[in-house]
Structure 1
Amino acid sequence: MLLALHARRSASSIAAWRQVHPARRQAVILTATDLYRDIDCDPAAQSSLRLADALAVRQERGPSALAGDLRARVRVTFQSTTSRQRLPKAADTLRALIVGHLRDEKAPEARFAAARLLAGHHDIGIDHAGDALDPRLGQAAPATMAACANHRWLGGQPYAATRRRIQRAHLLVHASRIEAGAHVVMEAVCSGTPVIASAIDGIIGMRGGDFAGYFACGDAAALATLLVRCRASQRQADGLLAQLAAQCRQRARLFAPAAERSAVRQLVAELLARPVEGAA
């Protein structure tokens, strides 16, 4: 059988597999650009959906992005990551971390605007790890840092160093416009670091609909307000920051490597057990 990642980019391989091996199964793992862009407008991606015997999505709201006649073929298989020990955090400041390259899909303008709104809050700091993939945003990041003492753009960072920063941060901020299942969110959850994030399907499908740390995508004022509330409740056992941490702990089991292995094995076993319709 074939497991293909990305409906559009793997379209030629998916079509070739069906032509050469009509009696063998194939599953397509759908990415964010598949779910929230390409399947609506790209013929190659649409062809991949028709040819797939199963469609794997990486968060619980993924199936709702697909046409009703395709949903019977959809399986939710959360990505996984390793767990890290929760590290002690300083109580006199709130350090928020953003991880992601500077590009439009990550909605960096909202983060820049939030940093400016928080310029007078010297007890709230925002660090951003990620390269500038968009030259315009690469100019905006240092300009924000120059205007806001509480904002630091760190540029690209090694993976191990970034994981340590996630462990040390009080919060991870994830403000994307489009996601299929953000890996950095699960890394934070599995490191004991609470998350606040944009309320988009790709994040809600990971965090759950009742999560207290959502803000409207692009709403800098709402993001800034959440950060202020987290700072104000930092020493409170029943405050917002503690509530976010508890909600993250409840979801951490979904992102365990054993859970992903089990889901993938179940998908493969299910496909291999079913004959292909029309096969001789």
Structure 2
Amino acid sequence: MITPAAPGSRAGNRATAERWQRLLENAGHRVDVVSDYQGEACDLFIALHAWRSRDAVSRFRELWPNIPLIVVLTGTDIYRHQIEFPEPTLATMDAADVLIGLHDRVAEDIPARFRDKLITLYQSAIAPPPAPKQPTEGFRVCVIGHLREEKDSLRAAWAARLLPDESRIRVITAGKAYNDKWRRMAELEAADNPRFQWLGQLDEQGTRELLTGSRVMVISSVMEGGANVVSEACRAGIPVLASDIPGSRGLLGDDYPGYFPVRDERALAELLRKAEAEPEFLQDLASRAARLAARFTPVREQASLEQALALACQRCSERVRAGSG
């Protein structure tokens, strides 16, 4: 399995690769995760990220044309790279025996010719222990994820500025700044916005404690392939307020009442105030998150991985036989 994220990275692709390694090894497979493919032999190859893994996939297909290949489509693959760099991105998708999409809407957002080899897989999360009693002195809202353009990471902080004086909402963001620009933006916002705090990158335990100690989680991304943090929030029973993008609707459903338009801090501020002021709205969001939790279990994710492996082997065999004929 190849991921563009190096060992030790807290990037989502690395976390996915290492989680899948554990799940597949639980199922009896032996899995090597690499960030630089050198042509090693294997029984099956999984590439996370169609565009970033394009060279590795090309090398693999040239050396091992009769070995099954699975390509996992990320948000940037679907919503940026297939548009900005169509030739290499679509070539990688074409080379795959199976494509994995991480939310229900992926089939609508890729070329029709690829849909028959697409499998939807929901990323899993471990159910956290019961959360401690919520603090009474405020209404904590968390934002979890690296600070970068695709995540629109400060939108909740800007929304918090629009809240009335009596609001007790405080936005706490955890995640590494993608570059110096985002670091400076977060530091300046924290210095100037009394409702906002940036914690930087937390470890897994710290992130879990932030999530379970919050009343609401905001995911404000402009593009997502199927954010694992949504899985984590649902497994924890934490209400989610999400930007209205396919990657959110593909996980939470069309009837979910917690969406706001992309990059619209005024609409987000209205939702935040509603969540704080209307207990029945907050409880409805929490109940919906809890009902969705069953789709984000490790058992279900492992079964989906096994399905993808089986289908890739089947399609590869059919392709090889057709080529021999």
TM-score by length of 2: 0.80
The letter for the 2-side match of 1:243 is: D
Aligned counterpart in structure 2 of residue 259 of structure 1, from 300, 304, 312? 300
Counterpart position of 1:276: 318
Counterpart position of 1:250: 291
The CA distance in 2 between the partners of 1:271 and 1:162, in whole Å, is 35
Aligned-residue offset at 1:52: 1.0
The letter for the 1-side match of 2:295 is: L
Counterpart position of 2:231: 186
Q: Supply the RMSD in Å over aligned alpha carbons.
A: 1.7
The letter for the 1-side match of 2:155 is: A
Aligned counterpart in structure 2 of residue 145 of structure 1, from 186, 190, 203? 190
Aligned-residue offset at 1:92: 5.6
Partner of 2:119, secondary structure, is strand
Structure 1 contact 99–129 (Cα < 8 Å) conserved:
yes
The letter for the 2-side match of 1:58 is: L
Structure 2 contact 73–99 (Cα < 8 Å) conserved:
yes
The CA distance in 2 between the partners of 1:273 and 1:134, in whole Å, is 43
The CA distance in 2 between the partners of 1:28 and 1:39, in whole Å, is 14
The letter for the 1-side match of 2:119 is: R
The letter for the 2-side match of 1:68 is: A
Aligned-residue offset at 1:122: 4.2
- Unaligned 5+ residue runs, structure 1? none
The letter for the 1-side match of 2:109 is: A
Taking the TM superposition and a 5 Å limit, the aligned residue runs for 1:50-69 are 50-69=94-113
Counterpart position of 1:126: 171
Structure 2 contact 98–311 (Cα < 8 Å) conserved:
no
Structure 1 contact 63–71 (Cα < 8 Å) conserved:
yes
The letter for the 2-side match of 1:70 is: F
Counterpart position of 1:36: 79
Counterpart position of 1:199: 244
The CA distance in 2 between the partners of 1:17 and 1:142, in whole Å, is 43
Aligned-residue offset at 1:264: 0.9
The letter for the 2-side match of 1:85 is: P
Counterpart position of 1:10: 53
The letter for the 2-side match of 1:7 is: A
Mean Cα deviation higher: 244-253 or 16-25: 16-25
Structure 1 contact 119–150 (Cα < 8 Å) conserved:
no
> Alignment length, in residue pairs?
276
- Unaligned 5+ residue runs, structure 2? 1-43
Partner of 1:117, secondary structure, is coil
Aligned-residue offset at 1:143: 2.8
Identity rate, percent: 30
Partner of 2:124, secondary structure, is coil
Residues 1:212 and 2:253 are matched in the alignment:
no
TM-score by length of 1: 0.92
The CA distance in 2 between the partners of 1:226 and 1:200, in whole Å, is 16
